[in-house]
Amino acid sequence: MMQELIEQAADIITGSRVTLALTGAGISVESGIPDFRSAAGLWSKYDPAEYATISAFRANPQKVWEMLWEMDEVVSQARPNNAHLAMGELETMGFLHCIITQNIDNLHQAGGSRNVIEYHGNSSTLSCLWCGKRYKAEEKRDENPPRCECQNVLKPDVIFFGEAIPEEAMRRSFELASSAEALLVVGTSAVVSPVNTIPSIAKGNSAKIIEINKERTHLTDSLTDIFFQGSAGEIMPQIVEAIKKKKAPLP
């Protein structure tokens, strides 16, 4: 049964002229980074209303850095896992055109993907909300909280709740989704908008949707064509292997 589904997914991807991936925190869990809404997720420890909104950051940046520091400790040590690497390989083979990610951990890029749209920014740089100066996160890793030379607390270049999604990320992702023929949805609960409209935009173009998640989501019984329940790090490589076999030069 599983192998059949893997083969079907491989057929969809090799037959698709425009294939996208939409990824969330679940794809980085096997790299040691907790997700947000699973049982042991970050939001079970830190209330997002108190730690993940731009107003919470402006009101008390030191408090928000308690959470950011803990995340940064884990993210800075994290390495791409087999799911990231498999997606990088798929792009190199010409079967994955762009990854739309909600993640801020830079692991898709570290895993070899070049075409990545970051909906929620990237934690590898910090900016000063007061004077606009920008720093590399590793330059300030020994300061908690990190401060600008103007002495104000720096903010990571990630999108907090209440901040606008980067205009270019939104425009490009909607444009790509409206011409997609296949969409891989990997490791996301798909509850945060506007990124969670990508699957329905792709479906509007009759795209086939392949979902990989440890648990079912609201997409599974509505938009998903093939659902793999399990770890991205185990399933993504199997799909890539099946594609390689299909495309292997005849003996």
Q: Which is nearer to ligand APR, 123 or 188 (CB)?
A: 188
Q: Which is nearer to ligand APR, 24 or 80 (CB)?
A: 24
d(CA 107, CA 75): 9
In total, the chain counts a number of residues equal to 251
Q: Which is nearer to ligand APR, 16 or 188 (CB)?
A: 188
Question: Can 108 be counted among the known catalytic residues?
Answer: no
Q: Which is nearer to ligand APR, 11 or 234 (CB)?
A: 234
Sequence-separated (6 or more) residues with CB below 8 Å from residue 158: 104, 120, 121, 122, 123
Burial grade of 55 (CB within 10 A; 0-12, 13-18, 19 or more) = exposed
Name the residues that contact ligand APR, by CB under 6 A: 24-26, 29-30, 35-38, 41, 48, 102, 120, 187-189, 192, 212-215, 217, 231-232
Q: At CA 177, angle to CA 176 and CA 183, rounded to 5?
A: 115
Q: Scanning the structure block, which residue is given the tokens 């731009």?
A: 54
Nearest-approach distance from CB 188 to ligand APR, in angstroms:
4
**H and E: helices and strands count for the chain:** 9, 9
Nearest-approach distance from CB 151 to ligand APR, in angstroms:
28
Sequence-separated (6 or more) residues with CB below 8 Å from residue 120: 102, 103, 104, 158, 159, 165
Nearest-approach distance from CB 194 to ligand APR, in angstroms:
12
Nearest-approach distance from CB 195 to ligand APR, in angstroms:
7
Q: Which is nearer to ligand APR, 39 or 248 (CB)?
A: 39
Q: Which of 177, 182, 149 is nearest to 11 (CA)?
A: 182
Cβ–Cβ under 8 Å, residues 188 and 25 = yes
Q: Which is nearer to ligand APR, 131 or 191 (CB)?
A: 191
Nearest-approach distance from CB 74 to ligand APR, in angstroms:
14
d(CA 240, CA 93): 10
Cβ–Cβ under 8 Å, residues 184 and 212 = yes
Nearest-approach distance from CB 150 to ligand APR, in angstroms:
28
Of the candidates 84, 97, 108, 120, the residue annotated as catalytic is 120
| Residue whose Cβ sits closest to ligand APR | 26
Q: Which residues are catalytic?
A: 120
